[in-house]
Amino acid sequence: MIFSAFGMALGQLGDPRFRRVFLTGVGGALALLIGFAYLLSSVAGWLIGDGVTLPLLGEVQWLDDVFSWGAVLVMMVLSVFLMVPVASAITSLFLDDVADAVEAVHYPHIPQQPRTPFMEGLRDTVGFLGVIIGVNLLALILYVVFAPIAIFIFWAINGFLLGREYYTLAAMRRVGRKRARELRRKHFLTIWAAGILMAMPLSIPLLNLVIPILGAATFTHLFQMLPQGRRGPPNPPDYPR
């Protein structure tokens, strides 16, 4: 079921409406990362200045360039961790657009939902983002203590967090906040496994940029496929040309 939902999300990249949301989400995620990289390189350049005098070497003029380029490389590494909160923010911002595009093609029989009020969506975004950042900061201890299996801990923790957020947002649109929590508890293991499927490519630089929107689409399908949603696979899509 999980791989079927993810496959349908990938398959809808041919749909112009979905592709537009997908590219906007990727652009938003990339903009956040570039902004942080620029800030990091600017701070490095400011700290180093135009030149610095080193023992034996004398005055060196190129260290600011080294640090600036190094900041980009560091950013690539940090993106493994930064893309988790970025994915959370992007998913919250674009969930309505993604779900509307998915439902229009795969589930046209269900009524269209009104968009989530801005303040309610902002509250959920800030809440989920705070939990994800806080838990990952605490998890740094586990990453250091259990370094050989740190990546598996990363996948397990963030798979749980992202699965929880993705499913809650997808379900709330249809059944409300209270019922979404009940269904999330009922399908806990399936949601966690699907969240891990999203967290794994988030640990791969560049590839992680495409996951927030694909994840939102995957969980929109998953909600419909699990009990209390649609039973059985949807009809093959007929994309508009």
Sign of the alpha-carbon torsion through 200, 201, 204, 208 = negative
Q: List, for residues 206-218, the tens digit of each pLDDT value.
A: 788 888 889 999 9
Smallest CA-to-CA distance from 194 within 179, 171, 216 is with: 216
Mean pLDDT for the stretch of residues 1-6: 90
What is the distance, to the nearest Å, from the Cα of residue 125 to the centroid of all Cα atoms in its chain? 12
Residues 185-204: b if buried by 16+ CB within 10 A, e if exposed: eebeebbbebbbbbbbebbe
Lowest mean pLDDT among 42-56, 158-172, 191-205: 42-56
For residues 112 and 100, the answer to whether their CB atoms sit within 8 Å is yes
Residue 13, both tokens: 């990249």
pLDDT of residue 176: 84
Q: List, for residues 106-142, the tens digit of each pLDDT value.
A: 998 888 777 777 677 777 778 887 888 888 888 888 8
Confidence band, pLDDT 50/70/90 cuts, at residue 231? very low
DSSP codes of every residue in 56-82: TTEEES-HHHHHHHHHHHHHHHHHHHH
Residue 124, both tokens: 């959920």
Q: List, for residues 176-187, the tens digit of each pLDDT value.
A: 888 999 999 999
Q: Phi, psi at residue 107, to the nearest 5°?
A: -135, 60
Rounded CA-CA distance 151/136 in Å is: 13
Q: How many CB atoms lie within 10 A of CB 112?
A: 10
